[in-house]
Amino acid sequence: MGRRSRLLALAWLALTGGTFAAHAMTRSMVEMICPYDGVKFTFSAQNSGTSLDQQLDRMPVGAIESPWPLASCPTNGFVFVKAKYEDDELERLRPLILSPEFQGIRSEMPYYRAAWIVGHTGASHAAVSNLLLQATWEAGRADLVERLKAPGGPTRIGSDSVRRLMAEGTTGERYTRYATELLARLAVDVADTTRSAEERMSDRLLTGEILRRLGRFEEADRHFATMVGDLAPDSKEATLAAFQRQLIAAKDRGLHLVSEALGKK
């Protein structure tokens, strides 16, 4: 099994509670209380994890759950974006959380709801985009785990079936919706000249990755082609863009690692 398969397999172990995950990622059960209704619930918190690489969409890979899980109330859908809230903060949030608009997205992924909350409380555009990116990781993981556990699915990590799922990429409705929404936000972030050139270039690379993962190959190739003149030929960014164009030419929507793109063994 190559580096890509090994490291992505570690991610699967972390998600499915395998032996490696038990030794390299620690969790604890935390008793939580929902604001606004006092309902108690138990949350499986991640205390530590080991990231060995990252996917081309920036998601850390290894014995770690990415994104770091957020506690979420099972009743009103409130997401604990922060570990601790003051009473006055919760009171300011009350009308937002109990609003019909937020209650209408209560079944969405926690990071999607977190993006909505911070987007309505004055966070920067880029900060909201980062939370939405993490929501795509959540949705992608949920989609892949569901397919992994489906009847007739693979029975061991590293099997041909698991590698096939990785190669197929993420095709779920929720991932597609979140990723499409993220693309619109990234266009705004890239155009924001108050941000650093490095941040904007990173978001341009991410835009192309999301287009590829969505199977929008022609758009993705045009996107990377327009970047060529802005990149030093021997730069990391140029190498990533060239690797992406190879994947696009092969109509590849799968999960790939940064180290794979850079030719690291």
Q: What is the dihedral of CA 203, 209, 215, 219, to 10 degrees?
A: 50
Question: Could you report the per-residue pLDDT of 26-66, keeping only the tens digit for each?
Answer: 888 999 999 999 999 999 988 888 888 899 999 998 888 88
Q: What is the pLDDT of residues 106-133, one digit of tens each?
A: 999 999 999 999 999 999 999 999 999 9
d(CA 94, CA 4): 45
Residue type for 118, please? V
pLDDT at 160 exceeding the cut of 70: no
Q: How far is Cα 127 from Cα 123, in angstroms, rounded to an integer?
A: 6
Question: In one letter, which amino acid is 57?
Answer: D
pLDDT above 70 as % of the chain: 86
CA angle in degrees (0–180, nearest 5) for 90-94-95: 150
- Residue 21 CB neighbours (<10 A): 23
Q: Name the pLDDT band for 153 (thresholds 50, 70, 90).
A: low
Using a cut of 0.95, tell me whether the model's pTM lies above it.
no
pLDDT single digits (tens) 178-220: 999 999 999 999 999 999 999 999 999 999 999 999 999 999 9
**What pLDDT score does 23 carry?**
54
